[in-house]
Structure 1
Amino acid sequence: MSLVDLIARADERGLAASGLACLDRCVPLLGGDDEVLRPLWSSLADGGADGDAWGERLAKARAELDCADPSADTVPGLGPDPAPGSGSGAETEAETEAAVSDEDRAAALARRMLATAPGDPCASALRAWADACSAAALQIHRLLDVAADGDGPLVAAERRRQVAVLELLAGRGAGGLRPALEVSTEGRRVLRAVVSRRARGRS
């Protein structure tokens, strides 16, 4: 089954886990430690994303990672369009985008994933968030992939992990959360190594 189909068929817990797993794998871009989102995983195990614990723990994670406002990101191609008459023409946009690194764009996408997570979620809100997180995580890995075009090895591996998480939750329900977290942890280690390697290359 395709990734799109799996998201379309997932229940609330599966959708929350899918979005959370995408975000968890991208924590290295946010400067957080590996345990910063663990309380959110625990809330899914305790009662799903509809419980009070989810909203409280989400707010705490946002505060720890300074990701409270999704409109704060102004990275070209990610923020809102310039207001009419603002004087922000195509030339200025092109100059600004040229000065922004792929790492900056990837980090902005990761911040937006956390900032837009539904604090009081319903199935429709979670589905929209999970779908957005899936696309953002794939774009993040595309930005950081060694391949110049298409789906390189980093993107392909991220797609496989997204499918694996959704299949685990669909097949095992709450029992799929632990192996889903293990899948996410593996992906986070890979991305952390990529980020570290790119940083060494710039130094």
Structure 2
Amino acid sequence: MSLVDLIARADERGLAVSGLACLDRCVPLLGGDDEVLRPLWSSLADGGADGDAWGERLAKARAELDCADPSADTVPGLGPDPAPGSGSGAETETEAETEAAVSDEDRAAALARRMLATAPGDPCASTLRAWADACSAAALQIHRLLDVAADGDGPLVAAERRRQVAVLELLAGRGAGGLRPALEVSTEGRRVLRAVVSRRARGRS
């Protein structure tokens, strides 16, 4: 089954885990340690995404990672498209020059911040589905930005797609019992991305 179909068929817990797993794998871009989102995983194990613990722990994670306001993210190329005719040619040229100066790492980090900032604090099936879908797309784009391949689905993107599918299949097949192996899948992906981020940082120094 395709990734799109798996997200479309996932229940509330599966959607919450899918979005959280995508975000968890991208924590290295936010400067957080490997345990910063663990309380959110615990809230899903304790009582599902509709418990009060989710909202409280989400607020704490946002505070720790300084991701409270999605509107604060103004990295060029990641915001909504401007309305037709809203800018002059000079403004468009300036924006293009600014975007060219922004690194792929900056764009990837901005996507990760947005994933956390837009997470529903009081989840229900409708909001979770939109968030999980957005997290899936953002995580794939993050890996595409950091991939060694010039275009298309390089090894990082392909591996991230496989992990997303694996997480959704685990939750669909095992329910709450799929949480621990889903966390293990996410942990593996986070280690890979942390290594990529470190290698790119060394290459710039």
Give the structure-1-normalised TM-score: 0.97
How much is the aligned-residue C-alpha RMSD, in angstroms?
Answer: 1.4
For 2:89 and 2:144, locate their aligned partners in 1 and report how far apart those are by CA, in whole Å.
Answer: 27
Residue aligning to 1:180: 182
Q: Deviations over 1:159-180 (max 9, x none)?
A: 0000000000000000000000
Q: 1:10 to 1:95 in 2, by over 3 A?
A: same
Q: What is the CA-CA distance between 1:85 and the residue it aligns to?
A: 8.3
* Greater CA drift, 82-91 or 136-145: 82-91
Q: Deviations over 1:38-72 (max 9, x none)?
A: 00000000011100000000000000000000011
Q: What is the CA-CA distance between 1:80 and the residue it aligns to?
A: 3.5
For 2:88 and 2:122, locate their aligned partners in 1 and report how far apart those are by CA, in whole Å.
Answer: 36
Q: What is the CA-CA distance between 1:83 and the residue it aligns to?
A: 7.2
Q: Deviations over 1:91-137 (max 9, x none)?
A: 01110111000000000000000000000011010000000000000
Runs of 4+ in 1 over 3 A off after TM superposition: 80-90
Kept in 2: contact 1:74–1:80 (CA 8 A): no
Q: 1:8 to 1:86 in 2, by over 3 A?
A: closer
Q: How many residues align?
A: 203
Q: 1:125 to 1:78 in 2, by over 3 A?
A: same
For 2:6 and 2:156, locate their aligned partners in 1 and report how far apart those are by CA, in whole Å.
Answer: 21
Q: What is the CA-CA distance between 1:76 and the residue it aligns to?
A: 1.0
* Greater CA drift, 139-148 or 88-97: 88-97
Q: What is the CA-CA distance between 1:77 and the residue it aligns to?
A: 1.3
For 1:78 and 1:141, locate their aligned partners in 2 and report how far apart those are by CA, in whole Å.
Answer: 15
For 1:87 and 1:42, locate their aligned partners in 2 and report how far apart those are by CA, in whole Å.
Answer: 47
User: Any stretches of 5+ residues in structure 1 without a counterpart?
Assistant: none
SS at match of 1:189: helix
SS at match of 1:18: helix
SS at match of 2:137: helix
Residue aligning to 1:112: 114
For 1:108 and 1:94, locate their aligned partners in 2 and report how far apart those are by CA, in whole Å.
Answer: 18
- Equivalent pairs: percent with the same residue? 99
For 1:83 and 1:179, locate their aligned partners in 2 and report how far apart those are by CA, in whole Å.
Answer: 44
For 2:34 and 2:143, locate their aligned partners in 1 and report how far apart those are by CA, in whole Å.
Answer: 18
Kept in 2: contact 1:29–1:106 (CA 8 A): yes
User: Any stretches of 5+ residues in structure 2 without a counterpart?
Assistant: none
* 1:37 equivalenced with 2:37 (yes/no): yes
